[in-house]
Amino acid sequence: MVSLADRNIGFIGGGNMAEALIAGLVGSGRTSAERVRASDPSAERRQFLAAAHGIVTHADNALLVEWAELLVLAVKPQSMRDLLLSLSPLVVARVAHGEAEPVPTLVVTIAAGVPIATIQQALPSARVVRAMPNTPALVGAGATALAAGAGVSAAELAFVRSMFESVGRCVEVSEAELDAVTGLSGSGPAYVMLVLEALTAGGVKMGLARDVALTLAAQTVYGAAKLQLETGEEPAVLRARVTSPGGTTVAGLDALERGGAREALVAAVEAATKRGRELAAT
């Protein structure tokens, strides 16, 4: 299988998520800076990416499309329509070894709510993978779901997966499941921040300094998640191991259950998923 190190990877859009992926790819050694380029309308942003990561940047998307073998569309959903209109003639015009046939291009999109079919309609020669990363990718701890379009081979999907694994963990789902992914891991960091706020407030209420309470709360959430990921144990099993009969943890869990914490989190994922479906339909 062709590795990341053997492919030219181009990012259209040089925002935070694109930068996270660039930093992950180059910093992990999965590829070299010479194999990564980015385009962005902001000269300041281009200069920053070039200086920070040692990559070539472009103001003109055409130069990037001509060079890239894997194209990552890292623009906001509201900008996707105009971008696709401008890319369509560029991708179709690419030729391989002087032949008249267009080069099939592997395209990855991270724009929420933009279906694979929309991109394939604009770029008929492209094989498309839709990705849903979340913001912890900015610190190398992202959760990303991938959905492959028609014609994407298992090797190509593994290739794309390797790119996102440079900034965290990755799973493969059907496109129909991406709205649920948005409701869970896409919006999930905000739910966790609310939990952190509440745990910190509880610590302060019980007499801790705020900075101490926040540090303990954040490390506890991080550590608990790391424990589950590394052991593979069910959360209920891990919870039971720290819950002694009649002890402090039981008292705290009883308060959470009485307050409806479990039902509220399930409802949050459900509400965000439904909203995602509504936005995709507009």
Which domains does the chain show, CATH number per domain?
4-178 (3.40.50.720), 188-281 (1.10.3730.10)
Task: Quote the pLDDT of residue 93.
Answer: 58
Query: Could you tell me the two tokens for 207?
Result: 């007499």
Task: Quote the pLDDT of residue 18.
Answer: 94
pTM: 0.89
Task: Quote the pLDDT of residue 99.
Answer: 43
Residue 82, phi then psi, degrees to nearest 5 = -65, -40
The type of residue at 244 is: S
- Tell me the pairing of strands 127-132 and 142-148: antiparallel
Rounded Cα gap, residues 52 and 33, in angstroms: 11
CA 159-162-168 angle, to 5 degrees, is 155
Task: Quote the pLDDT of residue 95.
Answer: 45
Block mean pLDDT (10 aa), the chain, length 282: 74 94 91 94 96 95 90 92 86 50 74 90 91 94 96 92 95 95 95 97 98 98 97 96 94 96 97 86 71
Rounded Cα gap, residues 270 and 275, in angstroms: 9
Query: Could you tell me the two tokens for 247?
Result: 């002890």
Rounded Cα gap, residues 266 and 171, in angstroms: 21
Rounded Cα gap, residues 4 and 171, in angstroms: 18
